[in-house]
Structure formats: structure tokens, C-alpha cells
Amino acid sequence: MNATSETAAANRERLVIVEDDPVTRAMISGYFADQGFRVEEAESVAEARRVVRRVKPELIFLDVVLPDGDGFELAKELQGFSDAGIIFVTRRDTDIDRIVGLELAGDHYVTKPVNLRDLLARTRSLLRRRKIERDTARRSTTITFGPFMIDLLRRELATVNGDPIRLTRGEFDLLAALVDSNGRPLSRDYLIEVVSNRHGEVDARTVDALVARLRRKLTGAGDPGVIATVSGIGYKLGIFADRNA
């Protein structure tokens, strides 16, 4: 392998598949390797611990039912020493399992049989979102805009007088993207991607509803001037944002 190939291999995003069924594991592993990922496999809780510590992946596919333990408990444990995204891939398809998984640690919950193209789309969306979060964390995390102040690291919104404003996860993610763009219009498609995590089926109507709720929370009357509609595109922040304030 030449230097260029070695560099390309080192830069590939790392994925760990924790799955005890060898057929399913081989199917997912082969597909994602073909898509350019560096793939490692584990078939048990004990092996997953070792592999994740060694590989330091960007993403983990995690089955819930494993021969030596529970995938939900493993996910919580992995979060103690890994910042990898977690997508549960499992046959357990009850609403309770899905809610527990997403509340505990998961970024997505996918049921078997696996649609590989759908899983790939979720993977790429999650990795893009986490890159945005990392880039944001490296910059100043507190931004003022008009009479408001948002802390991107603590995920808090308040007035400049210190009065907190409670937001849902989706509302915060959407507002943070608009504030970070500082007046540059963002398309509805982009905002769908921003808020897709943990929100089930997300479409343009979801984005519109989140914007309407944000306008009400920020102004009390749904004033469109705070978040302006850009015809044919999407939305933009209607107030100047200042990172240095």
C-alpha cells in the first residue's frame, strides 16, 4: 500500500458492528465496507468493549439482544468512554423498546430485517450532524442575537436578562443552525437533516411547525421577523447574531 492509499485508509470513518448473528453481521459489514467505511466487528458485549476501545469509532451499530448481555446497558457503558454515535439495529420492535433505546443512548433505532440503503442514509445524516456539532464546539459557544442569548455547548436559550426559555430538542437544533448561519438562508431540506435525529419521520411540515413554535416562544405572538421565511428556499435568522458579545 502506497502513502496515498495509507492516508485514505486512515481517513475512512470507523464503524463497529456489534451483532451476534454472523449472516446479518457479514451482510452489513460487507455493504458498509463497499461504501468506504473502515468496518470492525464484535459478536458479544465483552468483545464490543475491547473493539470500541481499540478502534475509537465514529459510529456503532448495536444489537439489543446479545449472548452475554443487554445492548441498552452496553450503550450506556460505551458512552462512558466513547463519543461515537449509536444506531440500534435489532429485531425488538415495540414502541417501549424504541423509546427506551433513544432515551438511553441511541441516535437512531432501526428494526430488522435491515434496509441497507435506509441504514446508510441514517448513518451519513448522523455523521454529518455530529461533525456540525464538533465544529460548533470548537468555536465560541455563546451567541447573542437581538434580546436573546444561546449557549450551543450547554444547549440553553435565555434572554439577555437571564430569563430561561425552554425548548425541545428539535426546536433547539433548528434554532442553533439558524443562529450559526447568521442570516444566511437555510433550505428546508437542510433543516430536515438537522432535526431528523429522534424525530421519527421528518418532512418540510415538521420544520414549518418547529419554526412556528419557535416564533411563539421567542416573541409570544409568532412574529415572523425573528425567523424570516425565504421564499422558495426555507428560513433565515432575522436578527443579527454576535459571537463576541
| 193 and 120 share one domain | no
Cell 458498509 locates to: 32
Whole-model pTM: value is 0.57
Domain assignment of residue 191, yes or no: yes
| 96 and 134 share one domain | yes
Domain assignment of residue 48, yes or no: yes
Task: Give the integer Cα–Cα distance in Å for 182 and 113.
Answer: 42
Domain assignment of residue 98, yes or no: yes
Domain assignment of residue 3, yes or no: no
Domain with 135 in it? 14-139
Task: Give the integer Cα–Cα distance in Å for 48 and 200.
Answer: 27
- For residue 7, what pLDDT is reported? 38
Task: Give the integer Cα–Cα distance in Å for 199 and 106.
Answer: 12
| 153 and 131 share one domain | no
Report CA torsion sign: 186, 118, 213, 174. negative
- For residue 83, what pLDDT is reported? 87
The enclosing domain of 215 has a CATH number of 1.10.10.10
Of 92, 124, 139, which residue is a domain's last? 139
- What is the CA 241 to chain-centroid distance, rounded? 24
- For residue 22, what pLDDT is reported? 96
- For residue 244, what pLDDT is reported? 53
- For residue 195, what pLDDT is reported? 82
- For residue 245, what pLDDT is reported? 47
| 54 and 169 share one domain | no
The enclosing domain of 81 has a CATH number of 3.40.50.2300
| 82 and 109 share one domain | yes
- Residue 175 φ/ψ region, left for φ over 0, alpha for ψ in the -120 to 50 degree band, beta for the rest: alpha
Domain assignment of residue 1, yes or no: no
| 173 and 97 share one domain | no
Residues 6+ apart with CB under 8 A from 70: 64
- For residue 3, what pLDDT is reported? 41
- For residue 181, what pLDDT is reported? 85
- What is the CA 31 to chain-centroid distance, rounded? 22
Of 139, 159, 177, which residue is a domain's last? 139
* Total Cβ atoms within 10 A of residue 137: 10
Q: What is the pLDDT of residues 67-124, one digit of tens each?
A: 999 999 999 999 889 989 999 999 998 888 888 888 877 788 999 999 999 999 999 9
- For residue 193, what pLDDT is reported? 83
Long-range contacts of 102-109 (CB under 8 A, 24+ apart): 102/198, 104/72, 104/75, 104/76, 105/72, 105/75, 105/76, 105/78, 105/79, 106/62, 106/75, 107/197, 107/198, 108/197, 108/198
- Residue 85 φ/ψ region, left for φ over 0, alpha for ψ in the -120 to 50 degree band, beta for the rest: beta
Name which of 135, 174, 182 is nearest 155 in CA terms: 174
Of 84, 106, 139, which residue is a domain's last? 139
Task: Work out how many domains the chain is built from and give that number.
Answer: 2
| 133 and 154 share one domain | no
| pLDDT, tens digit only, all 245 positions of the chain | 444 444 345 568 999 999 999 999 999 999 999 999 999 999 999 999 999 999 999 999 999 999 999 999 999 999 889 989 999 999 998 888 888 888 877 788 999 999 999 999 999 989 988 887 777 666 667 888 888 999 888 889 999 888 999 998 889 999 999 998 878 899 998 898 888 755 456 778 889 999 999 999 998 755 667 899 999 899 999 877 666 54
| 65 and 94 share one domain | yes
Domain assignment of residue 2, yes or no: no
| 24 and 75 share one domain | yes
Name which of 11, 66, 72 is nearest 41 in CA terms: 66
| 194 and 207 share one domain | yes
| 65 and 175 share one domain | no
Domain assignment of residue 8, yes or no: no
Domain assignment of residue 128, yes or no: yes
Which ranges of the chain would DSSP assign to H, the alpha helix? 3-11, 22-34, 45-55, 71-79, 95-104, 116-138, 169-181, 188-195, 204-219
Task: Give the integer Cα–Cα distance in Å for 225 and 145.
Answer: 12
| 115 and 146 share one domain | no
